[in-house]
Amino acid sequence: MYQIIDGKKISAEIKIEIAKQVEEIILKGEKRPHLAAILVGGDGASETYVAHKVKACEQVGFKSTMVRFAEDISELELLSKIDDLNNDSDIDGFIVQLPLPKHFSEEKIIRAINPKKDVDGFHPENIGRMTLGLPAFVSATPFGIVELLKRYKIETSGKHCVVLGRSNIVGKPISILMSQKAEFANATVTVCHSRTQNIKEITKQADILIVALGQQGFVTADMVKNGATVIDVGIHRVKSDKTKSGWKLLGDVKFDEVAEKCSYITPVPGGVGPMTIVSLLKNTLLAAQNKIEF
Amino acid sequence: MYQIIDGKKISAEIKIEIAKQVEEIILKGEKRPHLAAILVGGDGASETYVAHKVKACEQVGFKSTMVRFAEDISELELLSKIDDLNNDSDIDGFIVQLPLPKHFSEEKIIRAINPKKDVDGFHPENIGRMTLGLPAFVSATPFGIVELLKRYKIETSGKHCVVLGRSNIVGKPISILMSQKAEFANATVTVCHSRTQNIKEITKQADILIVALGQQGFVTADMVKNGATVIDVGIHRVKSDKTKSGWKLLGDVKFDEVAEKCSYITPVPGGVGPMTIVSLLKNTLLAAQNKIEF
């Protein structure tokens, strides 16, 4: 019988832990952790994401600042604001909500953020530090996956971890993290992607299968070894006549048929998703406590 | 019948190509590429390595500058010299020869180098850029391996590449490069290391086997698939009564028994080794031409 990896429950627990640490910080007379978010333009989804982040800050007792710009702001204005936040000692960390309007080079904008305040973990220096095994801000999804494996005490050392997908925000960083010489890592890691031949032969070897391909229902039961742990990073909105809203959320894994073969599996929704916001809170707390030494 | 991947020959060819490009630069009236190397203390091996690098610069027509410091130089003095080189517009790239004496934090020293002049490719920002698939200075050994695969037109796309070793200077970067969405990459990549179980089962799946474990003679014939390409990064000095010097060089692969199963294999010496210096020259040329856009 498989066990559900309950990201919603774990993320709620972590929020409580963070809130307690904030209380202790305040009791010691120290400054309240402070996250700022820059939102450019009025993209609906981005607006919702930033609102969720601000709300999560409130829940754990962080101070938060939202900086809004019109869509037609110049690169110079945005860079100037980033410079302000880099130099504002009250701000522990900040994020620039992506995607940016098309006239921006996201790469240039991200590179302007001081890596010490880059709590999204997107700056090349943080990616490089993570790769080298140095203390670093790790981006939300890989951070969340590692945390779920930790909390469910899933053995990773010497296990074969197969990662489907090589994106910069999920596949690459999680494959690097899983093979590091570290606790809750030390796995033998294989990265598969669109060019991989005989993908099923490889996924069937996986003790831990992390799926971040962005293809709904890609992983079927015949691709999974008995007793595997399956982590589903995909999230797809699919029409449904069985829900009031008229749609439902599905992952990259065919949950109904795959779950029975697993020892552990994340559901969609309620698996990896809820972990991403707490990852941002954790990074902000680490920044406030200067726990990442640069 | 297997084919030897002749790193000595390829490196000589690349030196000639670089020398031609330098001639063109000079004919256009532009500045001669200029590499500087900082050597701290009198470690014999480091001295030899730096001398080789300076000599290679001469061979291709680069200007080179060697900066020597006594072993007991302070961190501040070294950082101040790095700052000078960062700001010296005649210096296109520079390296700090490692290892440094123990009172230095190598991490701190490397981080002080301007990533734009970090032709060793050790700065976290270069590692991060390489991971993200952005233009970057790639460090010598992974750069050299990719170049050998290119020059011998060895198909990598969709092939299973198994990397033995997860060091920061070889295993990690080469595994990241081989799985990138890029020409001479696009491989399915598995990283194995000391904690890997059933390593032979995995190496036998490899179309391309890259061995960087640092264990002499680790890879035996029974671990290799027929027709595989084997790249041996190991280099070990072993006693021998058959050579005049009394020792010989051996790799991580038992060449004599493994070669017969291969389609391509690198020898030791004369395989990956000779490529490392030309990688440094190539990076310096790229720096001089501002070909890596930061």
Say if residue B167 is exposed, middle or buried (CB neighbours under 10 Å; 0-12, 13-18, 19+).
Answer: middle
* Architecture of the A140-272 domain: 3-Layer(aba) Sandwich (3.40)
Distance from CA of B189 to the nearest CA of A (A): 5
Residue-by-residue DSSP string for A11-38:
HHHHHHHHHHHHHHHHHTTPPPPEEEEE
Instruction: Give the homologous superfamily in CATH for domain B29-114.
Output: Leucine Dehydrogenase, chain A, domain 1 (3.40.50.10860)
Distance CA A275, CA A8 (A): 7
**What is the residue-level pLDDT of chain A in tens, covering all 294 positions?**
899 999 999 999 999 999 999 999 999 999 999 999 999 998 788 999 999 999 999 999 999 999 999 999 999 999 999 999 999 999 999 999 999 999 999 999 999 999 999 999 999 999 999 999 999 999 999 999 999 999 999 999 999 999 999 999 999 999 999 999 999 999 999 999 999 999 999 999 999 999 999 999 999 999 999 999 999 999 999 999 999 999 999 999 999 999 999 999 999 999 999 999 999 999 999 999 998 888
CB-nearest partner of A188 from B157, B180, B202: B202
> b/e map of A93-120 (b: 16 or more CB within 10 Å)?
bbbbbbebeeebeeeebbbbbbbbbbbb
Contacts of A292 (CB under 8 A, 6+ apart): A116, A135, A136, A137, A286
Q: Name beta bridge partners: A238.
A: A248
Q: Report the pLDDT value the prediction gives residue B292, as an integer from 0 to 100.
A: 85
Contact between chains at A128 and B133 (C-beta distance less than 8 A): no
Residue-by-residue DSSP string for A224-262:
S-TTEEEEE---EEEE-SSSTTSEEEE-SB-HHHHGGGE
Question: Residue B292, Cα to own-chain centre: how many angstroms?
Answer: 18
Q: Do B29-114 and B140-274 come out as alike in CATH topology?
A: yes
Secondary structure of chain A: what % helix, strand, coil (to 5)? 40, 20, 40
Structure tokens at B109: 């020293």
Work out whether the CA dihedral A135, A136, A139, A140 comes out positive or negative.
positive
Q: Residue B94, SS3?
A: strand
| ipTM confidence score | 0.95
Note whether B123 and B72 are within 8 A (CB).
Answer: no
Note whether B245 and B204 are within 8 A (CB).
Answer: no
Chain A residues with CB under 8 Å of B128 CB are 123-129, 131
Note whether B96 and B79 are within 8 A (CB).
Answer: no
Note whether A121 and A130 are within 8 A (CB).
Answer: yes
Distance CA B123, CA B111 (A): 6
Three-class DSSP labels, A103-159: CCCHHHHHHHCCHHHECCCCCHHHHHHHHHCCCCCCCHHHHHHHHHHHHCCCCCCCC
Q: Residue B210, SS3?
A: strand
Q: What is the DSSP letter of B236?
A: E
Question: Residue B81, Cα to own-chain centre: how many angstroms?
Answer: 25
For tokens 């601000």, name the residue: A54
Question: What topology is assigned to A30-114 in CATH?
Answer: Rossmann fold (3.40.50)
- Give the residue numbers of A annotated as catalytic, written as ranges: 53, 97, 120
**Residue range A164-210, pLDDT digits in tens:** 999 999 999 999 999 999 999 999 999 999 999 999 999 999 999 99
Q: Report the pLDDT value the prediction gives residue B43, as an integer from 0 to 100.
A: 77
Mean pLDDT by 10 residues, chain B (294 residues): 97 98 97 98 89 96 97 97 98 97 95 98 97 96 98 98 97 98 96 97 98 98 98 96 94 98 98 96 97 84
- Give the residue numbers of B annotated as catalytic, written as ranges: 53, 97, 120
Distance from CA of B134 to the nearest CA of A (A): 9
Distance CA B244, CA A251 (A): 65
Given CATH 3.40.50.720, say whether it is the number of domain B140-274: yes
**Residue range B125-159, pLDDT digits in tens:** 999 999 999 999 999 999 999 999 999 999 999 99
Distance CA B210, CA B253 (A): 10
Domain locations along chain B: 29-114, 140-274
Q: What is the mean pLDDT of chain A?
A: 97
Contact between chains at B128 and A124 (C-beta distance less than 8 A): yes
Q: Residue A169, SS3?
A: coil
Contact between chains at A176 and B180 (C-beta distance less than 8 A): no
State the Cα angle at B15 between B9 and B16, rounded to 5°.
95
CA atoms within 13 A on the CB side of B51: 7
Structure tokens at B97: 């020869």
Note whether B234 and B252 are within 8 A (CB).
Answer: yes
Chain A residues with CB under 8 Å of B189 CB are 190-191
Return the H-helix or E-strand segment holding B230.
strand B228-232
Contact between chains at A128 and B124 (C-beta distance less than 8 A): yes
Distance CA B15, CA B60 (A): 6
